[in-house]
Structure 1
Amino acid sequence: MDVPTLLDCNGLLAVWRRLTARAEFGQREPYELDERGKVVMNSLPSARRQIVLTDIFCHVTEQIGHLAVMSVPVATPSFGIRVPDVVWMPCDKWEGFDRDDPVPFVPDLCVEVLLDSDRTQDIDRRVKSYLEGGAAEVIVVGQRGQVEFWGATGRRQASMFGITLSLDRMYFEEGDVSSIPSVRC
């Protein structure tokens, strides 16, 4: 029985570059790569989700600095090249790599928003991979607006960066938040 080969960071980067070389006018399709270099297509975010992502981006930049970006590809050690919704890291970490390529490591803060997203089924793996890859914190915003903070030792009550997210309820699904499964890292 053949066991599929996992690609290292350089192998993933080579596949990524081949894909982006075919993109027209710098427009990247909403894809990621799994740990074997296979393309994983994501649906385009709705206008509602884009508003929430922008709101979170603004909260992060206002509270801990302007070095946050939205939807940047990130090389993870065990889950391929993934595209968190928002990432942040200190200025010195932005130096020394080609910004046209995926970030070759996991930034200090990664945020995933599950609102109308096809990421809900693999959110546990995403959080674990970001943390294993060096993220100090992962924030997950659920479909009903619930906010979870995750660190190396598990779920936290508050952000280690002091981030608070006050998100407008009108963008989230109504209903009982307790019925939504949470991350199980």
Structure 2
Amino acid sequence: MQWQDVLADPSLKNLPYKIELNEKGNIEMSPASFNHSRLQGKIAAQLSLQLGGEIFTELAIQTSKGVRVPDVAWGSENYTQVHQAELWASSAPELCVEILSLSNTVKDMQERVALFLEAGALEVWLVDENGTISQYDTSGPITVSRFPANLHHCFASH
């Protein structure tokens, strides 16, 4: 299966979970909890307010192991101009953010970080629901991001 097949399949429209394709062209799906979805929206809003540019949720990105979809991504205006005519992004935007859930394994998340960086992301952030953020670039874990965004508003008490 190819990504255009996924997009054209009426039975896959409006599903309440993320769809990805692995390197064999098989569909992989991951349901999101209420809190996961809520945090995704809050992170997207904060990145938009603080960084400008373009915010993407559930952006389909071609990687070396199929189409992967980060929870939130940020791209410059240049990135958007280059990719806006594509059905799926042929490379990753500058920043990809994954929200961790209990079903994620360390190995799976390390692979996702590597795939997004290999596909062109400058950084990948892993965020848990308690507000812990791990940031990575091609050199490995980093303590200072090139993206001046503070996400503490996303985790303030409700």
CA distance in 2, matches of 1:163, 1:147: 12
CA distance in 1, matches of 2:5, 2:119: 24
Q: 2:65 aligns with which of 79, 92, 117?
A: 79
Give runs of aligned pairs for residues 118-157 of structure 1, distance below 5 A: 118-120=103-105, 121-157=107-143
Aligned residue number for residue 77 of structure 2: 91
Aligned residue number for residue 60 of structure 1: 47
Q: 1:47 aligns with which of 28, 31, 34?
A: 34
Deviations 1:14-40 (A, max 9, x none): 711112211259535621011121111
CA distance in 2, matches of 1:151, 1:100: 25
Kindly name which structure, 1 or 2, has the bigger radius of gyration based on alpha carbons.
Answer: 1
CA distance in 2, matches of 1:134, 1:19: 23
Percent identity over the alignment is: 27
Larger RCO (CA under 8 A, 6+ residues apart): 2
**TM-score, scaled to structure 1:** 0.74
Instruction: Report SS of the residue matched to 1:58.
Output: helix
Deviations 1:126-169 (A, max 9, x none): 00111111110101002533111111111111221112210326
CA distance in 2, matches of 1:114, 1:143: 7
CA distance in 1, matches of 2:10, 2:98: 25
The answer to which structure has the higher strand fraction is 2
**TM-score, scaled to structure 2:** 0.86
CA distance in 2, matches of 1:159, 1:168: 19
CA distance in 1, matches of 2:20, 2:13: 16
Structure 1, gaps ≥5 residues long: 1-13, 172-185
Instruction: Report SS of the residue matched to 1:61.
Output: helix
CA distance in 2, matches of 1:107, 1:128: 14
CA RMSD of aligned residues (A): 2.3
CA distance in 2, matches of 1:92, 1:110: 16
Q: What is the aligned length?
A: 155
Report the Cα offset of residue 58 of structure 1: 1.1
